[in-house]
Amino acid sequence: MTPEPHHLLFAALADPTRRAIFERLCRDGDLTVGSLTAGAGVSQPAVSKHLAVLKRAGLVGDRPDGRRTHYSARVEALAPLADWTERMSGFWRDRFDALEDVLRRMDQ
Amino acid sequence: MNETDADTRTVVVERDLPHPPDRVWRALTRPELIADWLGKTDFAPVAGHRFALGFDWGAVDCEVVAVETGRRLTYTWRSGDLDSTVTWTLTPIAPQTDTPAGAAPGATRLRMEQAGFPPGQPRYYGGARAGWPRFFAALEGVLARTA
């Protein structure tokens, strides 16, 4: 069974080390595993594993450059996070309308 | 006067109501009144109280987090695909000039803020709650700069 993409996305961002790596790529642009490892607080193989998870979730892209690979953030992969806010916004606006009706009736 | 937060972690709706805060508070906290605008419920304004809100599409599980009578109310809002927190804030404002005849004096700015976590969030990870806001704060800065 293929895990749904949302699950991959949220699972990828749940880990603080991965989140830090992703944030760093957002902030600093293209980076290699080596430069990501400096300051990550974990080993290079661990960083590589985290990058693989981020890549599978669509959050990170890679570009080979000779013997090195450059990694970069793909912020557009975060779009599914916006879905629920749109749904709930409409819901609450309707509820506010209904609340106003109730408040008016309480006047009488 | 609706306002919807454009960021990805909160929904904000704010409206000025031509009713005094104590009346708005009653509508927000009395089960028989909540049922008329939000959903059927066994709500009680007591921190730690667990309650449900029933809708035609299903039920939402909630727990009262904090109560400041007449001013602020916070509860969790959990349904199948969403684990979030709803905070109501009531601020007294100057009455609008078009207050209907016979209406009680006073007006209220009512703000609803729902902050939450989308489906698939790993509940097993205890640090998620602390981590996400920081993450989004950092990310928003990045997005703003790259827009």
DSSP string, B75-144: EEEEETTEEEEEEEEEEEEPPPTTPPTTPPS-EEEEEEEEEEE-TT--TT-TTHHHHHHHHHHHHHHHHH
Identity of the residue in B15, B27, B116 whose CB atom sits nearest the CB atom of A106: B27
- Write out chain B residues lying below 8 Å of A81, CB-based: 8-9, 118
% of chain A residues with pLDDT over 70: 85
Residue A99 burial class via C-beta count within 10 angstroms: exposed 0-12, middle 13-18, buried 19 and up? buried
Give the model confidence (pLDDT) of A35-53 as tens digits. Answer: 999 877 899 999 999 999 9
Please name the residue of chain A whose CA is at the shortest distance from the CA of residue B121: A10
Give the model confidence (pLDDT) of B44-82 as tens digits. Answer: 999 999 999 998 777 899 999 999 999 999 999 987 667
A100 to B142: CB separation less than 8 angstroms, yes or no: no
Give the model confidence (pLDDT) of B30-45 as tens digits. Answer: 999 999 999 999 999 9
- Structure confidence at residue B33 (pLDDT): 94
- Write out chain A residues lying below 8 Å of B121, CB-based: 10, 14
Domains within chain A, CATH numbers bracketed: 5-107 (1.10.10.10)
Residue B59 has phi, psi (to 5 degrees) of: -120, 155
- Are B70 and B25 in contact by the 8 Å Cβ rule? The answer is yes
Quick one: pLDDT band at residue B98, thresholds 50, 70, 90?
A: low
Quick one: pLDDT band at residue B10, thresholds 50, 70, 90?
A: confident
Mean pLDDT of B120-146: 40
Quick one: pLDDT band at residue B135, thresholds 50, 70, 90?
A: very low
Residue A14 distance to chain B (closest CA, Å): 6
Identity of the residue in B38, B122, B139 whose CB atom sits nearest the CB atom of A23: B139
- Structure confidence at residue B123 (pLDDT): 35
